[in-house]
Chain A
Amino acid sequence: MGAIRAIVRKELRQTFRDKRMVVILFVAPLVQTLIFGFAVNLDLVEQPLVLVDEDGTAASRAVVEALSHDEALEVVAVVKDHGQAAAMLQDNRAAISIEIPRGYEDKAEKGEAQVLIAVDGADSNTALRTTQVAGQILAARASSAQRDKLSKVLTSRGLSADNAVAQLDLSIRAMFNPQLRTAIFLVPGVLGMVLTVITMILTAMGLSRERELGTLEQLMVTPLRPSDLVLGKTLPFSILGLAEVGLVVCLAVLVFDVPVRGSLWLLFAVSAAFLLTTLGMGLLVATFSETQQQAMLSAFFVILPAIMLSGFVFPVEHMPLFAKWIASINPLTYYIALVRGILVRGADIEHMWQDAAMLVGIGLVVFSTASLKFRKRLA
């Protein structure tokens, strides 16, 4: 016990003595939360739209009118021919072009109208969502044109149109995040990211630094047991990691109005389980690295895919199969899902026990493998 305490005290002293370390520990998470909360906005706004109206009829003008009223799109030009629109897409003055071909009105009455949408696919995510928005507006426009036509036919035969045309009004409400704000979606992910980066890199770098200095060898000739060394090295970073959870959650609540609907105790418990995996990975990286530089590079090699394939920004459900496999053994996937559940939905452990069990399971496997490997390497 005394030996573990001696190591923990030393680690804390070294960490807080290094000013850069204090900045990395406490300023970096705040900055990251602010950047991701403010700057990264996945909400679609004012995509520049160029319209080609070759038809020039009342029907085509109604479509143009409908498109220019949507917040997601901004009509930057209405041109007469296809070539001009293509040129605007080419030099990035427009992100999407919609062409209403000659004869649109006639065909619309028969329900056969066609519209051509061309979109800048360089940013595939935005392209997809822009097309969806445009598609919805056009479909709504087409169905209301049909409805108009149907009611005209009915009225001409002396029937009441009101009862005959059943109108389907879709009312969509996003639960838990009614304005679909990106911050509420992203901030729980930031928590996972910050914890991964800090705990994993600090553990890996700290141990490889001791190897470089030769102090690791000195520690090993003392009666300190390898398991005590592992504990003494990882405990301080677990405590610091949990402090960061508190810090990021406070900021998320104060600045971004992220709700805390579930239990904070559960949040900290889940975070502790997650730390088992990041500290374990840190140990593994240290086991296979000779120098701090190697440790740093290997850590990033693990961290980047872990963040990309976790559902932090890109939903796991939309990934190809092999990426889904990776995501399904990625502890960050479960941690982010759990944090979103606890903070935003107010979910309880009984609703998320599968995710929690996976996280704890992965944590135990990673940490025990890592400490075994590390102890073997020391011997």
Chain B
Amino acid sequence: MTESTVIEVEHLSRLFGKFRAVDDISFSVTRGEIFGFLGANGAGKTTTIRILCGLLSPTSGKGRVLDIDIGKAPERVKPLLGYMSQKFSLYPDLTVSENLELYGGLYGLSSSRLAQRRAFAVEMAGLVGQEAVLCATLPLGFKQRLALGAALLHEPKLLFLDEPTAGVAPRARREFWTLIRSLASSGTTVFVTSHYMDEVENCDRIVLMSRGRIAALGTPTELKQGLVGRIVRIECGQEPARLARRLRAHEGVVDAQPFGSAIHLIVAPGLDPINHARKALAALEEQPRSVEVCQPTLEDVFISVVSGVAR
């Protein structure tokens, strides 16, 4: 573990009965990194976060967070972390400043430091002058930023964000990510899970989880690398889902997924993508509006990796 390593996980597993929620995963996160953790529901994201936060003990394997062995001293890691989940865990029947006061008290902030940090959090959330407003009445975007402010009250070195933008409007999501990036550039390490593939592009590195295992790990560019030039976008008009299913049965087609009114087709490596796609379409007697090679998105990566693991 070098000085700049914030999280280091080796062969970590967690079983619930016979179910392997987390199955032998290893990775490390360095200081100031925005580390994305993706996967479908039940892929093991939340279990991993709960282990790293000291809420769950690992069944086997090792995990060090900020130089603390989480298997041995989970309590010692808690004061150093910030945690914010999709539920924006504020009390709806407490005011903005009462919520902040509560979390300040729980992290043991002195009253002068609390006053200073509370002012910071209120300003960051854009709620100056509304300290006495009940949280229940705040719009979702403000709740989200206030929850982030509450999680940052004690100036944690490591911040866990579990689906932090779920249900929030696109503009508020963009503003939120601007905040996250500025936090990371000032040295806070951010560990984030998300469903929104577009915003995951903001991450420095990404883990793709599937069935408790790490299916892929790398920067967004690295992950997309393997698919460059292999994705064909077929504009087909109607019933893309049905056509995609029929295309999948064709030889040389790794995967075909509907994307709105189009289909993203992944061809096997070594084949000429456009030609192969046209051949497949001709065999099915389909005449699409257009067939062209397109840039892979993280969603393509995610789907190809997950379906690859499933086979």
Residues of A within 8 A of B (CB): 2-3, 5-7, 9-10, 13-14, 17-18, 213-215, 217-225, 379
Contacts and interface: CB of A to CB of B under 8 A. Distances in A.
B55 interface: yes
Contact of B94 (A7, A13, A217, A225): A13
A34 B304 CA distance: 71
Interface stretch (B59-67, B101-109, B117-125): B101-109
B222 interface: no
A217 B81 CA distance: 14
B95 to A, nearest CB: 9
Q: Which of A2, A17, A221 has the most CB of B within 10 A?
A: A221
B87 A213 contact: yes
Contact of B106 (A18, A213, A217, A222): A222
Q: Which of A6, A214, A224 has the most CB of B within 10 A?
A: A6
Contacts of A217: 55, 85, 87, 89
29 contacts: A2-B108, A3-B105, A6-B102, A6-B105, A9-B101, A10-B91, A10-B102, A13-B94, A17-B93, A17-B94, A213-B87, A213-B91, A213-B92, A214-B85, A215-B87, A215-B90, A215-B91, A218-B87, A220-B55, A221-B81, A221-B83, A222-B78, A222-B103, A222-B106, A222-B107, A223-B75, A223-B78, A225-B75, A379-B55
A218 B85 CA distance: 8
A76 to B, nearest CB: 59
Interface in B62-89: 75, 78-79, 81, 83, 85, 87, 89
Q: Size class of B's contact patch?
A: 20 to 34
A222 B56 CA distance: 14
B24 interface: no
B131 to A, nearest CB: 14
B89 A218 contact: yes
B106 A223 contact: yes
Contacts of B87: 213-215, 217-218
A54 to B, nearest CB: 73
Nearest to B79: A223
B144 to A, nearest CB: 13
Interface in B111-144: none
A214 to B, nearest CB: 3
Contacts of B98: 10, 13
A6 B42 CA distance: 35
Nearest to A8: B105
Q: Which of B87, B106, B160 has the most CB of A within 10 A?
A: B106
Given A3-B108, A224-B106, 16 more contacts: A5-B105, A6-B101, A6-B102, A9-B102, A14-B91, A18-B93, A214-B85, A218-B83, A218-B89, A219-B106, A221-B81, A221-B160, A222-B107, A223-B75, A223-B78, A223-B107
A219 B107 CA distance: 10
B53 interface: yes
A13 B90 CA distance: 14
A277 B91 CA distance: 28
Contact of A10 (B78, B94, B108): B94
Nearest to A215: B89
Nearest to A15: B93
A17 B136 CA distance: 13
A14 B106 CA distance: 17
A3 B102 CA distance: 9
A225 B102 CA distance: 15
A10 B103 CA distance: 10
A217 B177 CA distance: 24
Given A2-B105, A214-B85, A221 B91 contact: no
A13 B102 CA distance: 11
A13 B93 CA distance: 9
Contacts of A18: 93
A237 B108 CA distance: 24
A229 to B, nearest CB: 10
Contact of A213 (B75, B79, B89, B104): B89
A214 B89 contact: yes
A213 B90 CA distance: 8
Contacts of A5: 105
A218 to B, nearest CB: 3
